[in-house]
Amino acid sequence: MRFVKWGAVVLETLNTLMALGSVPSSGEPAWLRIGAAVAAVLGIVVIIGLIRHTSWGAPAGVAVGLLSVAGGIAMIATSESGGPIGLTVGALVALLCALTLRTTQLPAKQRSTSLTV
């Protein structure tokens, strides 16, 4: 399941970079720039939590992914650009972090390090 965690890290990094790109844009509405700034800060926290394999990293990733999904839906509803990609990447982040969540909650003795069952 390590590849799932690293997939979540890569996608959350992409999501954070997309959010950072929306912050200084003067053509975007204020609510979108503020939401993007909050999402970028939360994304950095999630990336750190996932890399350090903390107990709160995966649940925070699910929450931030769902926040990105909500932001994507709001952007689609208001005809702003970037809504579908934010929706897609946010859903993938939430899904991969949810899959990672199962393995981060297990004690170290029960975690499988091999592909055999």
CATH code: domain of residue 20 = 1.20.1270
Q: Indicate whether 52 belongs to any domain.
A: yes
Which pTM was predicted? 0.80
Write out the residue range of the structural domain in which residue 62 sits: 2-104
Provide the pLDDT for residue 29.
81
Q: Write out pLDDT tens, residues 60-76.
A: 999 999 999 998 898 89
Q: Indicate whether 111 belongs to any domain.
A: no
DSSP states of 20-65: HHHSS-TTS-HHHHHHHHHHHHHHHHHHHHHHTT-TTHHHHHHHHH
Q: Indicate whether 112 belongs to any domain.
A: no
Q: Indicate whether 46 belongs to any domain.
A: yes
Q: Greater confidence, 42 or 109?
A: 42
- Report the share of the chain in percent with pLDDT over 70: 85
